[in-house]
Amino acid sequence: MTDSKADPAPLVGIVMGSRSDWETMQHAAARLELLGVPHEVRVVSAHRTPDVLFEYAASASGRGLRAIIAGAGGAAHLPGMLAAKTPVPVLGVPVQSKALNGMDSLLSIVQMPAGIPVATFAIGNAGAANAALFAAAMLAVERPEIGAALDAFRQKQTEDVAGNDDPRR
């Protein structure tokens, strides 16, 4: 998290509907941390703190955010509402809900009517991790150091699999 004055201004905002989403969304933060992408983390609820949502969306571009990763579960309107209120690209992460295993979250994030896009990722931890990697890939266009970190991450991932290719060991 880059909140102290010494830290560089965040390029990515990670927001979630509830503190209970952190268990999932920490996987996005961990990837951004690993890749050296300055980011911030906030709880912003579309239905419990709608004014905070509007304020966050209104200030996002001016504060230098280049992507917002938004995770929510259930009737997950947070990513769509953010996307409606900011030109900054919104990457939606469906959090795995207890009642419907995240199918509710997935469908309510992915089924945006034409006109306001939300890039939607897989349900749960994989979606959170991939949203961060995707944000890094977007940033790599203008930030070569992030591109290099992403290349190194992918290379290591390849080597880890290749070096452990006997599942019995």
Grouping H, G, I as helix, E, B as strand and the rest as coil, residue 91 is strand
Interface with ligand RP5 in residues 41-70 (CB under 6 A)? 45
Nearest distance from C-beta of residue 27 to ligand RP5, angstroms: 15
Any contact of residue 20 with ligand RP5 (CB under 6 A)? yes
Any contact of residue 95 with ligand RP5 (CB under 6 A)? yes
Any contact of residue 101 with ligand RP5 (CB under 6 A)? no
Q: Considering only residues 10, 17, 80, 124, which one is a binding residue for ligand RP5 as defined by CB under 6 A?
A: 17
Give the containing element (helix H, strand E) for 127.
helix 125-140
Nearest distance from C-beta of residue 117 to ligand RP5, angstroms: 20
Nearest distance from C-beta of residue 75 to ligand RP5, angstroms: 8
Nearest distance from C-beta of residue 52 to ligand RP5, angstroms: 13
d(CA 73, CA 95): 5
d(CA 143, CA 149): 10
The DSSP annotation for 38-90 comes to -EEEEE--TTTSHHHHHHHHHHHTTTT--EEEEEE-SS--HHHHHHHH-SS-E
21 is in an annotated binding site: yes
48 is in an annotated binding site: yes
Least Cα distance to 133 among 63, 22, 29, 61 occurs for 29
Any contact of residue 72 with ligand RP5 (CB under 6 A)? yes
Q: Which is nearer to ligand RP5, 11 or 57 (CB)?
A: 57
Any contact of residue 104 with ligand RP5 (CB under 6 A)? no
Half-sphere exposure of 96 (CA within 13 A, CB side): 10
Q: Which is nearer to ligand RP5, 23 or 149 (CB)?
A: 23
Least Cα distance to 64 among 138, 108, 145, 10 occurs for 10
d(CA 133, CA 169): 29
143 is in an annotated binding site: no
Binding residues (CB under 6 A) for ligand RP5: these are 16-18, 20-21, 45, 72-74, 95
> Which residues are part of a known binding site for substrate?
18, 21, 48
